[in-house]
Amino acid sequence: MAIGLSGQMHGSVFLDKAGKVIRPAILWNDQRTAKECEEIESRAGGRAKLIQMVANPALTGFTAPKVLWLRNNEPKNFAKTVKVLLPKDEIRRRLTGEFATEVSDASGTLLLDVVHRRWSQPLLDKFTSKDPFIPFPTPGASTAPTGSPTATPTGKPVPSDLAAKIRVDGTNYTVTSGDKVPGGSAAAFRVMGVTSGDVTFAVLDGKLENGDKSFSVNLGEQVTVTLDSGVSYEIRVLSIGARSGGGGSGGGKGHSISVLSINTQNGTATATFEVDGKTFADKRVGDVFSTSWGEIEVLAIDAAAQTVTIRHGDQTLKLYAGQVIIK
């Protein structure tokens, strides 16, 4: 026997850290978010740029404007919110205990990069730490509630051919199973496993404030984890790709090249790269810099589309912000 679910797109169910519903859901036909739609289009650089990012204009029925409406009008409820689910996904959670969605519904949140079937990092980066979008479950994958994952059965790192680029309290790391973060003596977590959809961490000393010893962070998600000592860390999984040596464990073949960020400084677009774990900051069009992969020339930077075109030898490559390639 099986149960299938279908339902309205776009609606928002706001959940607290205990998984309890904070307020009545705001459904697809609620039109209160005109102001928030204008904010999203403005931050994206206009309607056309937003459509490039998520294949949709900002409409009042979509989910993302409702999250911003909660921030603007019910700040106490917004402060309590740690997850947002679409209505049918909340029914699924109640039946199975899993946080999950899929790409067709995710496309109606106004946050999905429809072409690449992942959350749109270029759009999310338009919002500061003071007004973030609450993490949604990863499209097409089941997820554990933030701070309440399941540890690996053996309690040992699970070998993987994948590496993840993560950010811990503002510092970027490329990690594989077994690596520790943050770096050096400040390490608080060990990477227990990297899959195509998430990274699992174990607490090295002590436990989380809820008593758990491990947690998972989904690709594209940012979470705040707090230890029983009261120390908190912000952890974000930026990208996951083929392994070519982690932050501490090494291994693998080839070179890892990624674009960490694309920004505009005084009207000039700049890009920050990472090649084999080394950062090359604030490169402009025309810059040539030497890396372990060889010389890279920056041919073009499109800050609105969040892309960089580079030349390496006789190759010309276009990279998206957050993308990792292995050469």
257-313 pLDDT per residue, tens: 888 788 887 889 998 888 877 888 889 999 999 988 889 999 999 887 778 999 988
For 101-170, strand residue ranges (E) read 112-113, 118-119, 142-143, 162-168
Q: In the predicted model, is pLDDT for residue 78 greater than 90?
A: no
State which amino acid sits at residue 305: A
Range list for CATH 2.60.200 in the chain:
162-242
Range(s) of the chain covered by CATH 3.30.420.40:
13-143
Q: Mapped to the 3 state alphabet, what secondary structure does 17-43 carry? A: CCCCECCCCECCCCCCCHHHHHHHHHH
| CATH architecture, domain 256-326 | Roll (2.30)
pTM: 0.45
The model's pLDDT over 146-181, given as tens digits with 9 standing for 90+, comes to 333 333 334 556 656 678 888 888 888 888 888 888
Buried b (16+ CB within 10 A) or exposed e, 164-179: bbbbbeeebbbbbbbb
Please tell me the CATH code under which domain 13-143 is placed.
3.30.420.40
Contact (CB, 8 A) for 275 and 291: yes
Distance linking the first and last C-alpha atoms of the chain: 47
In this prediction, residues 80-97 reach a mean pLDDT of 84
- Is 22 a residue whose pLDDT tops 70? yes
* Each residue's pLDDT tens digit, 190-205: 998 887 667 889 999 8
pLDDT confidence band for 137 (50 / 70 / 90): low
Q: Boundaries of CATH 2.30.30.830 in the chain?
A: 256-326
Q: Looking at the domain that runs over 162-242, which CATH code has it been given?
A: 2.60.200
Ranking 58-62, 105-109, 184-188, 278-282 by mean pLDDT, the lowest is 184-188
